[in-house]
Chains A and B, each alone.
Chain A
Amino acid sequence: MGVSARSTRSGKRRIAITVVLLFAIVALFVVRLVDIQVVRADTLSADSLGNRSVEQPVYGSRGDIVDANGVVLAGTVMRYNITLSPRNAVEFTRTTAAGDQTVTVAQAAAEVGAITGQTGDAILAIISSSLAADPASDYAIVTKAVDVSVFRAVDALEIPWIYFEKKPGRVYPDGAVAGNLVGFVSSEGEAQAGLELGQDSCLASTNGTETYEKGADGVRLPQSTVTEKAAVDGGDVVTTIDSDLEWFVQQALAKQAQATGAAWGTVVVQEVKTGKLVAVADYPSVDPNNVNGTANPDDRGSRAFTASFEPGSTFKALTAASVLDAGKATVGTKITAPYRYLPGNGANINDSSGHADLHLTLTGVLIESSNTGMSKFGELLTDQQRYDYMTKFGLGTATEAGFPAEDSGILHPYDEWDPQTKYATMFGQGLTTTALQIASIYQTIANKGVRLPVQLVAGCRQADGTMTNVPAATGTQVVSASAANDTSEMLEMVYQKAWLSKVWNIPGYRVASKTGTAQMPDGHGGYTKGYLVSVSGFAPADDPEYVVSVSLADPVKLNSSAAPAPIFQEVMSQVLKKYRAVPSGAPAPALPGTW
């Protein structure tokens, strides 16, 4: 009994000890398990995965830049970086129909090089130099951004230590057509210029990431790819440009600019009734596919937006419209225009060439482009009145187009005008404008005095088709419809009677146009010997549809507005033909220019 009781007691103790031990061991395991599976789980699995997993970016596609008809001006294509694993670069066995054959590293390198345009030795050098830097090197780039055909050819070699990375590239299918506007991106895909830069917030995509695992031999394990974060594509920028017309205009501009030896030139084509820019050409220009092909960085943008200059006599249309709107004169108001006019405030105004006193109407002043005559009309308004008209026409501020680094032009406050500037601003000197601002002045006159915001981008088209960032299109009445109409009819007389009437003649249409010849500032307060010559106008004048504004800087072989006039004629004809503008019926009403 006693034994039994003792043995029972000792048995109980043994069981108790065993149970306690058991619990202790289980607890130890649990603690260890929790430690491994929970506490240090992330570090450990990262460590283990790090030995075999590879993380790589998944690129979202940058949005396209398209013209008004959906033609792609800038698009994203898939390109491939060819990479290799230096430490795994050893000979391998290739199975072909003729049987197995051993391919050495040198042989493989030569095969790849033959496709990528490198020498086999160059590729061997990539392997040896990365191994020299790091004997365990697992990554080196053979070549970047090859297209699908090269990728396929290299892939078909089935070299186990060659890998590919997808990498989106940017192409500009139309080359230099609208290259001045579209801009370009760097080889790393960073927006650098033009709409690529200005609309980057619309175009930019968000990259995602994915990981895959690879075995000890470096081969990707099937089914191991995990998308960690999905990529988001960028939106498309829809411009108002017509790429076919843009090409024609650039070609016509380049041809005449080269023939006349111009330093640079611009052409703006704007829709009168919408304010949309359908073509903005620059010469010289850039092919965004080959940015370095344009040596001078200043030639890689759009001077139509970024260069301001003294416009000269095209500006007289603005002064005439202002005087008419204020009711200070009519199209037939008579003045006497001398060669030299000394208004008495110290200013000294003269015309471009000597002449006897002319008996001109306001219409005649525009036809003859007389500075002294224009001064006699301009002084009918106060400086403040003229300044207010200029700002309402959009001078002194950049247009609504929103182009990067757009120039606002220089318009000094009227109380800072010196006596000469007071008069010079009546005929387009003493202030500066961009080609866009001049086009906008003519758009206002053509559109019954209503200035519309200048539009280059119609909006940002999101992936779901909705358009965002659509610009405002509300116009402002700058001058009365009758003042605008009278100015238009006077400009028709200029078109018919000015010295270039035979050069810019477009049969069948009524056209309103005006020339300008302005001295160019030398940047040191004086003027150079060169001139900025220009022609601006619109047609059909009886129901205006399009403004065309042409500027050439310093055409050394033909330093007058006879240089831009043929471009105006050619571009306006093409615009009228392309958009099927109906030819004018009745001729323009005749307005007397002299008395």
Chain B
Amino acid sequence: MSRLQASQTELTRTAESVTEDLVRVSSPQSLAANAEAIGMISNSNPVYLRLSDSAVLGAPSSATGSQAGAASLVPNALLTGVPLVTQPAQSTGQGASVSGAATTPATETNPAAPNAAVPAPGTGLPTPTTR
């Protein structure tokens, strides 16, 4: 009983610590930096293809990346020393889960990328085009 209680306390601490690491790397600054590190650029020129009549709404143009090149101007002290997922850590002072995630960049970057700027399309609305 006492051993189980002790183990529960330990696991609760681990959960808190890992959650803390997760929300830190989920921050917009971290997502944007990671998305740009794998070559993604944001396109703030919205263009829609209406499926009902194949009409193109808006003026298509290639994405220049409105945020591209600009270093993060919105600081986050919590990210100091946290490596990009594409650049596995040599050694950092952050929690174990961060370096753990860094060992599998291929699976980690995929869920991170779409969140950078583009939310999932809603139903009944025009489908976004990407060029």
Contacts and interface: CB of A to CB of B under 8 A. Distances in A.
Nearest to B46: A577
B59 A507 contact: yes
A173 B59 CA distance: 37
A289 B44 contact: no
A148 B125 contact: no
B106 interface: no
A573 B45 contact: yes
Interface string A475-508: 0000000000000000000000000000000011
A173 B44 contact: no
B5 to A, nearest CB: 11
A578 B119 contact: yes
The B interface is mostly helix, strand or loop, or mixed, namely: loop
B40 to A, nearest CB: 14
- Best-surrounded residue of B14, B118, B119, B122 (most CB of chain A within 10 A): B119
A174 B73 contact: no
Contact of B74 (A72, A285, A570, A582): A285
Contacts of B128: 577
A346 B40 CA distance: 61
B28 interface: yes
B126 A171 contact: no
Contacts of A171: 20, 78
A290 interface: yes
Contact of A250 (B57, B73, B126): B73
Interface of B: 13-14, 16-17, 20, 23-24, 26-29, 32, 44-48, 57-59, 66-67, 70, 72-79, 95-96, 115, 117-119, 121-122, 125-126, 128
B77 A175 contact: yes
Contacts of B79: 175
B23 A75 contact: yes
B17 A149 contact: yes
A577 B127 CA distance: 11
Nearest to B127: A580
B29 to A, nearest CB: 6
8 contacts: A151-B13, A173-B27, A175-B29, A248-B67, A255-B70, A258-B73, A574-B117, A580-B126
B74 A175 contact: yes
B77 A293 contact: yes
A243 interface: yes
Nearest to B60: A507
A290 B78 CA distance: 9
A148 B94 CA distance: 11
B122 to A, nearest CB: 6
Interface of A: 71-72, 75, 77-78, 147-149, 151-152, 171-177, 243-244, 246-248, 250-252, 254-255, 258, 285, 287, 289-290, 293, 507-509, 570, 573-574, 576-578, 580, 582-583
A508 B46 contact: yes
Given A174-B29, A176-B76, A578-B118, 12 more contacts: A171-B78, A173-B78, A247-B29, A251-B32, A255-B67, A287-B77, A293-B75, A507-B58, A574-B44, A578-B117, A580-B121, A580-B126
B96 to A, nearest CB: 7
Contacts of B95: 147, 149
Contacts of B20: 77, 147, 171, 173
Given A174-B27, A290-B75, A507 B17 contact: no
B67 to A, nearest CB: 6
Interface core residue of A171, A174, A243, A258 (most chain B CB under 10 Å):
A174
A81 to B, nearest CB: 16
A429 B32 CA distance: 41
Given A148-B13, A508-B47, A175 B27 contact: yes
| A-B interface, 3 closest residue pairs, ranked by CB to CB distance from nearest | A175-B76, A508-B58, A247-B28
Contact of A254 (B16, B45, B73, B125): B73
Contacts of A244: 28, 115, 117, 119
B23 A72 contact: yes
Contacts of B46: 508, 573, 576-577, 583
A293 to B, nearest CB: 7
Contact of B72 (A77, A149, A251, A285): A251
B2 to A, nearest CB: 8
Contact of B77 (A243, A290, A573): A290
B75 A173 contact: no
Given A174-B28, A175-B29, A583-B48, A287 B16 contact: no
A255 B125 contact: no
B117 A289 contact: no
Contacts of B47: 508
Contacts of A258: 73
B77 to A, nearest CB: 4
Nearest to B56: A508
A64 to B, nearest CB: 11
Nearest to B32: A247
A248 B65 CA distance: 12
A582 B78 contact: no
Contacts of B24: 173
A78 B28 CA distance: 24
A199 B114 CA distance: 33
B29 A177 contact: yes
B19 to A, nearest CB: 9
Contacts of A173: 20, 23-24, 26-27, 78
Given A175-B29, A285-B74, A570 B66 contact: yes
B99 to A, nearest CB: 12
Nearest to B29: A175
A583 B27 CA distance: 30
